[in-house]
Chains A and B, each alone.
Chain A
Amino acid sequence: MKQLTIISGKGGTGKTSITAAFASLAKNAVLADCDVDAADLHLILNPAIKKTMGFHGLKIASIDKEKCIDCKKCYESCKFDAIDKDITFNKDSCEGCGVCKYVCPEEAISMVDRDSGFAYVSETRFGPMSHARLNTAEEASGKLVTVVRNNAKDIAEEKKKDLIIIDGPPGIGCPVISAITGVDLVLIITEPTLSAIHDLERILGVANHFNIPAVVGINKYTINKENTRKIEQYCKERDIDVVGKLPYDVAMTEAMIKEKSAIEFSDSDLADRITDMWIKVERKMFA
């Protein structure tokens, strides 16, 4: 079973639209939305949820004020400023380490599960999907990404799927690293803007750091052809395949509004070019 993650560094370059298009082209794949912070793939794929699982991130400290003798040991030991001097706990700052519980002489503190979100296993018109929702202001999104990926692997084994297509989060930090560790290929979607080029360099550095093969796709290449050439040159110098260039086309947004992938939406040059990109990515993975 192979795994492909679509990432970008910079947000808003078209990861999810391209993932949705790949979903309609792949013959035997499981889809996984690992942008658990701001998941959007379900808006196109309309999953019917078959199974819902509660997700508990790191634990959270809870104090029994009746037992507290106000010794302030917990306040003094907390490295996250999650406990005020008057021993009120700030939920948003607690990282669940358990030090306060350990140092409390009165056993007034316990570490409790926090309801951090939900993981879902669903069915879509393109096949099974694994996705999730992180509750407002929760942490541990990297951990939830791992849950989504494990669920996707379970489905793939159960249903004999040979590929998992993962829609990744933006950035280069914790959730991104969780979304790309151990995959067979990352497809980095960039656009010809200076910001996206800067971010491309950083995300390629991450892929390189973890020894994950990477290819690049250029979205909206028509908005600045000179920058597009710079990206192609940059990739060529580093021996990185550019697997396709997609023109700026309002059909991408129109398809999203109609809750369709760009492939389903119209037989356009855009659809042809995405198909071509998909064939190259598939070849790269299964070669």
Chain B
Amino acid sequence: MIISIASGKGGTGKTTIATNLALSLGKLQLIDCDVEEPNANIFLNVKIKDHEDVTVEIPEIDKEKCNYCGKCSEFCAYNALAVVPTDVLVFPELCHSCGGCEIVCPQNAINWKKKTVGKIEHGITNGVDFFHGLLNVGEIQAIPVIKALKKKVDKEKNVIIDAPPGTSCPVIESINDSDYCILVTEPTPFGLHDLKLAIAVVRHLYIPFGIIINRDGVGDKKVEMYCQKEKIPILMKIPHCEEIANLYSVGIPFVKKIPKWHVRFSELFKRIQEEVGT
């Protein structure tokens, strides 16, 4: 079973849920797909055992063959190529590696070279088989790194996916084949507004979902009222309290210090398992 943790709004507690849930269960995979700002390992402290580079293919122009006809730049939907009278400029960060320039080139002047855009790392702690990805600083496209991470999913195991914030491509790529999605929100107007956007995404992908309210008590009751009205299950509420906030600030998963939460996360998992029917 694949459970993804998503949110719309950033900073609502996705990583908190993902890491505490993983540590409460053990014997599973945890994959941190927030490759722009991966934080799960701050809480897990996994010793990285192996890593691999994530590369994309970027065109390289064979200037002996090129006749500067401009067909490649004309075709490129991403403006990643510009042809001037005696040169072809390639903008690697704009390239989506679609292969179009090679197909349209009448001179067969396009070769491909690998460009590293990030890496994925792996290690094991407390029975948690952990992967995360790191987009290189200055790189634009998170998707190839997320795709490389998703290849590590072992469908025989239980898998938790910590998704990035937002509602667009990196989120879709992270959660798209999940059996269940936990949406984490906070009880504030921003939390509710972005929760509605996130709900639209999981509905669009036909993924069953439930809500966790984090920092319960900090704002108003509108998230709860909304969930009741829409008949969306509230799976858990984590109170707004100093102890949990302090543990978060120093990178300690709170299930390690407050044992009753260990039980609650195990029950949460059982509930999801029953709902998904595995």
Residue positions of A touching B, CB distance < 8 A: 8-13, 16, 37-38, 40, 43, 58-59, 77, 79-80, 92, 95-99, 102-103, 134, 136-139, 141-142, 169-177, 192-195, 198-199, 202-203, 205-206, 209-210, 223-224, 227, 250, 253, 256-257, 259
Contact = CB atoms under 8 A, between A and B. Distances in A.
Q: Would you list the 6 A-B pairs with minimal beta carbon distance, nearest first? A: A11-B10, A12-B11, A97-B98, A37-B166, A171-B36, A205-B137
Contact of B250 (A175, A202, A224): A224
B258 interface: no
Given A43-B190, A96-B77, A194-B251, A38 B172 contact: no
Nearest to A37: B166
Interface of B: 8-12, 15, 34, 36-37, 39, 42, 75, 77-78, 96-100, 103-104, 135, 137-142, 164-170, 172, 176, 186, 188-190, 193-194, 197, 200-201, 204-205, 218-220, 245-246, 248-251
A99 B103 contact: yes
B193 A43 contact: yes
A143 to B, nearest CB: 10
B142 A174 contact: yes
Contact of B103 (A103, A170, A175, A257): A103
23 contacts: A11-B11, A11-B12, A38-B9, A38-B167, A40-B189, A77-B103, A79-B97, A96-B77, A99-B99, A99-B103, A102-B100, A139-B169, A171-B10, A171-B142, A171-B165, A171-B170, A195-B42, A199-B39, A202-B36, A205-B137, A224-B250, A227-B249, A253-B219
Among B8, B39, B166, B176, max chain A CB count under 10 A is at: B166
Contact of A137 (B98, B99, B204, B245): B204
A11 B16 CA distance: 13
B interface SS class: loop
Nearest to A78: B98
B103 A173 contact: no
Contacts, number: 183
Nearest to A192: B249
B193 A40 contact: yes
Given A134-B168, A171-B36, 20 more contacts: A10-B11, A37-B165, A38-B197, A95-B77, A102-B103, A136-B200, A137-B204, A138-B168, A170-B37, A173-B36, A173-B142, A174-B140, A174-B141, A177-B140, A193-B249, A195-B39, A198-B37, A198-B39, A202-B37, A203-B37
Nearest to B171: A37
Given A171-B164, A172-B36, A202 B189 contact: no
Contact of B10 (A12, A136, A173, A224): A12
Contact of B219 (A174, A177, A209, A257): A257
B100 A202 contact: no
Given A59-B77, A202-B137, A98 B100 contact: yes
B201 A206 contact: no
Contact of A37 (B137, B167, B190, B220): B167
Given A99-B99, A170-B37, A206 B42 contact: no
